[in-house]
Structure 1
Amino acid sequence: MGRWGLVVEENQGSGEEKMWALRVLAHVDGTREEALARLESWARTYRPEHPRRPGRRLVYRQGEGFLTVTEGRSRDYHCRFGVLELLYDSEAPEPQDGVPPGY
């Protein structure tokens, strides 16, 4: 078991201010397979910033995650969804005996 971050990468902003950005959607405690199942649900229902008036939506499985393509009026937009194992959290409580887990 582990702790998994569910992330989305998408274009944000418009015109010259458009940039590619990553956002953590949620965390899942469990197996990688459980995290992927939750991520698939996110990929099917997530509403990206672009396009403003979404049309057809396609969801593809892609290696370790998913790719969604949403048709817009003038062009198509895509988002990448991934599962990342959380290895360190600076705000997690310190171990009681002062020894890092796994030693």
Structure 2
Amino acid sequence: MTTGDGRTARWVLLLMKPAGVHAREPYPTMATVDGTRAEAVQRFGEFVRLYQPRHPSHPVRMRRFRTDDGWMVIGDGLSGSIFAYHFLITELEWDSGPISY
């Protein structure tokens, strides 16, 4: 497991949920990968492709965008509401305690 520059790394996929959607947990950990950034992008990409958010509950359109730091999934609801989910690829750089995932 190495980063782009050859270092060992643990990659974590975090989710930024739309405002008001489960606000108590604004950045839940969605998945982890030990390996290269390219391996993490590949595995997380499959996870994001299969992700089905709860909101909108009746989507009329779903779009997935690739960003520099992950993906955006945007759902247009039947009532005209729009929900944007930002998936962030992050490298675990430091942890003060035992790894719990």
TM range (shorter): 0.7 to 0.9
Distance (Å, rounded) in 1 between the aligned partners of 2:73 and 2:13: 15
Which residue of structure 1 lines up, in the alignment, with residue 78 of structure 2?
73
Q: Which residue, out of 21, 24, 33, partners 2:38?
A: 33
Among all aligned residue pairs of Structure 1 and Structure 2, give the percentage whose two residues are the same amino acid: 31
Greater Rg, structure 1 or structure 2?
Answer: 1
Structure 2 residues without counterparts, runs of 5 or longer: 3-8
Which structure has the highest strand share of the two? Answer: 1
Instruction: String of CA shifts for 1:38-75, please: whole Å, max 9, x gaps.
Output: 22112211122311112321111111211111111121
Alpha-carbon distance change, 55 to 19 in structure 1, aligned in 2, over 3 angstroms: farther
Superposed CA RMSD: 1.8
Instruction: Detail structure 1 runs of 4+ shifted over 6 Å in the superposition.
Output: none
TM-score, with length taken from structure 2:
0.76
**Partners in 2 of 1:54 and 1:19 — Cα distance?**
24
Structure 1 equivalent of residue 16 of structure 2: 9
Query: Is 1:43 equivalent to 2:12 in the alignment?
Result: no
For normalisation by structure 1, the TM-score amounts to: 0.75
